[in-house]
Amino acid sequence: MNKTIFCTGVFFGVLAVVLGAFGAHGLNNLVSSGEIDTFKTGVTYQMYHALFLLILGGVKSMPEEEKKLVYYLIVSGIVFFSFSIYLLATNSLTGFDFRTIGFITPIGGLLLILGWLIFGYRAYRKL
């Protein structure tokens, strides 16, 4: 499980760099500056949580079974939060109105918060 967590963190980190470069250079003439800022928010949160996964994968004091729930919460949170933000920020470029699925963004945020809280609680018990 540690390798899976670590590799997922690397994947999301690389993807955050690619999406960040796309947001900084590829979207400039396509969407408004506010939408670019929104896109950057998604990239920032994705990168923070990619680093979180790298740390989670490297924590030796927590059994892998206890890491699974945290892993699933963080990965789901990244997908729901960051990816919905990417879609909302680029909404004007598509024929589909992604604002109809905007309700999943706060669900993703809640999943990220729960992941942090459960990780903190489980790590604290090991101190």
Phi and psi (nearest 5°) for 116?
A: -65, -45
pLDDT tens digit sequence for 10-39: 999 999 999 999 998 888 889 888 889 999
Q: Which of 83, 64, 63, 73 is nearest to 12 (CA)?
A: 83
Domain residue ranges in the chain: 2-126
**Banded model confidence at residue 55, pLDDT cuts 50, 70, 90:** very high
Q: Which residue has the tokens 């809640």?
A: 110
Q: Whole-angstrom Cα distance, residue 116 to residue 126?
A: 16
pTM over 0.75? The answer is yes
Q: Which residue has the tokens 């960040």?
A: 20
What is the average pLDDT score of the chain? 93
Residue 114 burial (C-beta neighbours within 10 Å; 0-12, 13-18, 19+): middle
